[in-house]
A and B are shown apart, each in its own frame.
Chain A
């Protein structure tokens, strides 16, 4: 089956630093999504990407859909304590249509040191 390689697995940073994480795949996905999950809760959508090459921002978050459709990155600028959590990339084969489930990366655990 499809697999997403997400890195880094964990990050220890100081408050105010920028963060970068990425996902790669051996197969093409037509939709890339980034979610954040806090302990004991469901994933919350951060950014959705639908077109190869697309660069999208949501506040301090920026994500890009790779040209090859096999990768995506997420950047967080000027991290704050509430950014702590686990970030997941997810790929979807379909470009909209809602018929496909998501394939998730293994997650990046972001820890912010005071």
Chain B
């Protein structure tokens, strides 16, 4: 299957700081990538769609000014959690579609802990 990487794999930060998470497609290009959030013992929830060359689209209830998304190239999307608070602590996972049917492959996730 296709390979998607994320960096960092985990991060601890102080409340009020900003954190950037990278998502890379390693062996394919992706004009679209997706960001999901997963709280403990819960399912994945789609946060936003990252579009190369245009603005990201956000799901209802997700603050675009808090979760900044930049699709810098065909292999890289970044999610910046601005002014992070403890309630932003979660597992953030990206995915990218590839192949004839544009099947989505997921990165390994980034664990964010805001103190």
* A interface residues (Cβ-Cβ under 8 A, vs B): 1, 31, 33, 35, 40-45, 48, 50, 88, 92, 94-99, 101-107
* B interface residues (Cβ-Cβ under 8 A, vs A): 1, 4, 6, 30-32, 34, 36, 42-46, 49, 59-60, 91, 93, 95, 97-98, 100-109, 111
Do residues A102 and B93 form an inter-chain contact, with CB atoms below 8 A?
no
**Cβ 8 A contact of B60, one of A1, A41, A103, A106:** A1
CA distance A42 to B4 in the complex (A): 10
CA distance A94 to B32 in the complex (A): 14
Do residues A42 and B109 form an inter-chain contact, with CB atoms below 8 A?
yes
The dominant DSSP class at the A interface is loop
Given contacts A48-B103, A101-B36, 15 further A-B contacts (CB under 8 A): A33-B104, A40-B109, A42-B106, A42-B108, A43-B106, A50-B101, A92-B104, A98-B30, A98-B97, A99-B32, A101-B46, A102-B34, A102-B36, A102-B95, A106-B42
